[in-house]
């Protein structure tokens, strides 16, 4: 039995969490089968947690903390592991995006795929303070502009984007920058393989008001969903989680303006802006 506090600095958060789970189980004198019998979790699932193959939901760690009376240790280790997984899963999402055949996107603001270079630079700048920060922002702008090329490739993916009206009513940059951004939205909405819809404020509150959602389908039919909030994101790969994300998207699509009305709405906002 190995103390989970040993060599923690040299291992990932998920590995440290898995080793702590095994340590607590062995300290209690239980086998995986016995632990499965005393909890509601399957033996194979508990094994995958212990060897770091899977990261559980928070509720699982809360349950096991209570089971072992470990004073919240597992929850704290889970939070560390989850921050690492965010970074890894974002990289995986970025790997899958260019090969997707179908993309469904919802965003409260202007999604990255539709941002002009000036708007992207403004939004990515944030609280930059040093020359190194400026350089990092420029690298991110280049990467974001490169991502947008998937909208224009041949064959292009089928892309549907729902934007909250909120994103059209909060200008980014000066009048010229924002006018160019609105004009760009009109241009993208007219692309053959891209459908742009506006979710009007009159639709009221909805269940994705705290973040963004993207669902990707590959040529082989496999799908993933990516949810994103402030400084955090999560890649959903489990089939049931992806299905729930797709249904959430479908409900928003039902509330959004039809594509022709959405295009007319954006043109109206542009006209208001330039008046």
Q: How far apart are CA 35 and CA 145, in angstroms?
A: 50
Structure-model confidence comparison of residues 210 and 87, the more confident one: 210
Average pLDDT value for residue range 53-70: 89
Residue from 129, 100, 125 nearest 115 by CA: 125
CATH 1.10.260.40 intervals, the chain? 8-86
Q: Evaluate if residue 5 carries a pLDDT over 50.
A: no
Alpha helices (H) in the chain, listed in sequence order: 13-27, 32-38, 43-50, 58-68, 73-96, 117-125, 131-147, 165-169, 175-189, 239-255, 259-274
Average pLDDT value for residue range 86-110: 86
Residue 57: the pLDDT is 80
Residue from 222, 218, 245, 251 nearest 233 by CA: 245
Which of the four pLDDT bands, split at 50, 70 and 90, describes residue 10? very low
Cα 104 to Cα 107, 178, 195, 215, 261: the distances in Å are 10, 24, 9, 5, 19
Which of the four pLDDT bands, split at 50, 70 and 90, describes residue 53? confident
In CATH terms, the fold of domain 8-86 is 434 Repressor (Amino-terminal Domain) (1.10.260)
The CATH code of the domain at 100-115+147-274 is 3.30.870.10
Mean per-residue pLDDT over the chain, rounded: 88
For 200-222, the pLDDT digits (tens) are 999 999 888 888 999 999 999 99
Q: How far apart are CA 13 and CA 7, in angstroms?
A: 12
CATH 3.30.870.10 intervals, the chain? 100-115+147-274
For tokens 């509150």, what's the residue?
205
Sequence-separated (6 or more) residues with CB below 8 Å from residue 25? 32, 35, 50, 68
């Amino acid at each position: 039995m190995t103390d989970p506090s040993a060599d923690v600095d040299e291992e990932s958060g998920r590995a440290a969490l898995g080793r702590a789970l095994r340590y607590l189980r062995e300290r209690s004198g239980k086998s995986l089968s016995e632990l499965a019998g005393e909890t509601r979790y399957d033996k194979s699932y508990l094994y995958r947690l212990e060897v770091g193959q899977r990261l559980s939901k928070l509720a699982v760690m809360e349950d096991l903390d209570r089971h072992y009376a470990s004073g919240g240790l597992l929850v704290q280790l889970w939070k560390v592991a989850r921050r690492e997984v965010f970074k890894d899963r974002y990289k995986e999402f970025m790997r899958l995006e260019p090969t997707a055949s179908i993309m469904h996107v919802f965003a409260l603001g202007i999604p990255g795929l539709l941002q002009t270079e000036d708007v992207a630079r403004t939004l990515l700048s944030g609280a930059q303070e040093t020359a190194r920060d400026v350089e990092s922002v420029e690298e991110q702008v280049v990467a974001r502009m490169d991502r947008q090329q998937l909208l224009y490739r041949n064959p292009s993916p089928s892309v549907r984007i729902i934007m909250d009206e909120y994103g059209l009513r909060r200008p980014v940059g000066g009048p010229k920058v924002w006018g160019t951004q609105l004009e760009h939205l009109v241009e993208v909405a007219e692309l053959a393989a891209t459908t742009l819809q506006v979710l009007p404020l009159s639709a009221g509150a909805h269940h994705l008001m705290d973040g963004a959602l993207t669902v990707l389908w590959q040529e082989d039919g496999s799908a993933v969903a990516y949810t994103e909030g402030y400084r955090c994101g999560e890649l959903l790969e489990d089939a049931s989680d992806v299905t729930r994300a797709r249904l959430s998207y479908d409900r928003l699509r039902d509330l959004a303006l039809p594509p022709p009305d959405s295009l007319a709405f954006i043109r109206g906002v542009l006209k208001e802006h330039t008046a």
